[in-house]
Structure 1
Amino acid sequence: MSSEEDTVQAQVHHRRLLNMSKFTILLNNMRLMAILDWWETVRDFILENPENPCPANNVLGVNREEKKSSGTEEPVAFEMKLNITNSEVVFVEDTSQWDSNSVILKSTTVITYRPLVVEKPLSCNLNHCEMFSCILGMEDETALSIIDPVTVNIEIVLDKDVKTLKVHMVHLSLRLSYHDVRMFSQMLESLPKQTRWARSHSLQAVYNTRPANFKGQLTKLSALGFTESDCATALEKCNGQLDDAALWLTQHAFPVQDTSGDRNNTSVNRSFTVIEV
């Protein structure tokens, strides 16, 4: 486009096939607020599987029924690619205030997420990435640089059955004041609260729209060791059939790790090795 008014700021492409679902999201010259409860809702919407609009007597529908009955149905491959060009991500200290202390991350970013690709489920490239702190709404008067522009490459890979986090960057220039450290501490404390609020809100919405025996079924499935959100998803996909939902969980979800068990096993499952920082 020739002028800034005509520049496209956002594009979303979705392609759905029998064995693949792909999202491509393009953001250009935007400011994104990192409010996790809202982003949790967006993520749930993206990952939601819509109902099949094809009639039951359709050939594709018959093939799907045959696959379900034979137990050979494979999980649908999911891929999401996020391209962020010359945009800002804003982390605020207090989400209830307009003029809160904030940290702004500015960069051109490409993120690729493919959960079924075990060897490399996530890759992220940040070009000309810079970070500064300020008071929201008064950026020009209060901006203080934290990280000078730098290129960062981040990957999660599977190395000898251990998930490895690889981070590569060059010439990192970092400046942190005592005020910045306190602000980061406040932000880290608020993140779990936002996530818990979003999860509890989502489950409550499910309770309000389900049959009276839904909570009892959810309790039975949760006793198998799965999270309530996974159990609710299983019941929804299996139309309330308890046995089918239990089978779906064994194929598509992972049970919660027992914290009272072997601590060494827990550390192996969650371990990340940071390489070349």
Structure 2
Amino acid sequence: MQEYRQVLARAEQLMRAGDYQAALAILEFLLPRHPNVVALHWYRSRCLVRLGQRDKARIALTAVLRARPNFVPALMIRVKLARDDAEDFDVEPLLRRILLLEPERARAMYWLADTLLQRGPEHQREALQLLDQSIALSPDLFKARLRRADLLIAQSEDPEQLPQDAQLHTDALGMGLDRRKLEAALVDLQYVADRRHHEKADIRAAHILLRLGRQQEALGHFDRMLARLASNDPRRAALQLLRQQALQRPLPDAGFTISGGATASAPDHGMGNATGNAQAAAQ
């Protein structure tokens, strides 16, 4: 037993050092001799995830959760694998179990909100509550802020989502909007843009400002993005085009996200994205 502990300690040391391949070799040496030690399956699953062996990681996590069904770190990794790989696997029960065990797990709240929103608009109320709670617990959970902004923008444009006391605003395209929801989305987008230099957040914030009639603030977002780019960066042409469009009336389409090369993507004001080519748009 003393030898086992020493060998396991060596595996833990290798994991802390980032040598997951060497740690995995030790764990797979120990497991046939100690198949019922849950910690070995847990450490092995973590190594497999780090090494990109995701199918084997799922099998190892299954062994962990069979023995410890309420072990939250293993539940979180299992959900993450399912989300990352778009598995045909219902993560909602696992996420609800996590939140029963640890009600202040902000990332689990965000993941559950995202799961619910993918199931349809009837889940928007609970999803928004979950997003609000997750961001209150973890203000720098940027993906949750972007998801909440998407939802608020969609709701601001949906007549069925307008409360009786909504502050209606008509933009230059003649669309009636819920000003409060649009301004709440703007807060989230500006928070992310200010802290992460996030191009999608910057451009979507600029678009909201344009819709609210705050043109100079919108131009400031484009100017600071341009200031961050080198003079020979191929994205400059797309951004300059968008800045030029921001000066025009009526408003340009929903704003673009500049990606690698010279491509640009346009949010659809709702939950999805559509991609396009900025060079073609400039012609």
Report the TM-score when normalising by structure 1. 0.26
In our comparison, the structure showing a higher alpha carbon Rg is 2
Report the TM-score when normalising by structure 2. 0.26
Q: Which has the higher contact order (CA 8 A, sep 6+)?
A: 1
Looking at secondary structure, tell me which structure has more helix per residue: 2
